[in-house]
């Protein structure tokens, strides 16, 4: 549980700055995506600030093609996390692989 309201359910993906999990906002029973900063980066103030700026910027834009950030906080261990809307679908990488024309033989 994060902030006594987000239940972390499963790992979705791992990236350069952190990991994204599928979770549920337990008070309203809504599926969410939770991005957690990598533990080893949590003590680097500049990276934590960058992570938080990402949340603020994404939240401020409000565009259909940009995922909505709805909350942010820290784990019990002091690691920053962002809560975003959860979108079903394929990754950008998978879509590009599917749409890429076959190489000429």
What whole-number percentage of the chain has pLDDT above 70?
A: 96
- pLDDT score, position 103: 62
Q: Which CATH number fits domain 6-99: 3.30.200.20, 3.40.50.410, 3.30.930.10, 3.40.309.10?
A: 3.30.200.20
This prediction's pTM: 0.84
Angle at 84 between CA 83 and CA 86, to 5 degrees: 125
pLDDT digits (tens, 9 = 90+) for 32-83: 999 999 988 888 899 899 889 988 988 888 888 888 899 999 999 999 999 9
The answer to whether 84 touches 35, Cβ cutoff 8 Å, is: yes
């Amino acid at each position: 549980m994060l902030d006594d309201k987000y239940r972390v359910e499963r790992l979705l993906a791992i990236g350069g700055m952190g990991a994204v999990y599928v979770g549920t906002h337990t008070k309203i029973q809504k599926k969410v995506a939770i991005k957690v900063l990598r533990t080893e980066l949590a003590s680097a103030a500049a990276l934590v600030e960058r992570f938080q700026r990402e949340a603020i910027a994404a939240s401020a834009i409000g565009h259909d093609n940009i995922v909505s950030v709805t909350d942010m906080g820290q784990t019990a261990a002091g690691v920053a996390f962002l809560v975003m809307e959860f979108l079903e679908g394929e990754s950008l990488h998978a879509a590009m692989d599917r749409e890429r024309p076959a190489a000429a033989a």
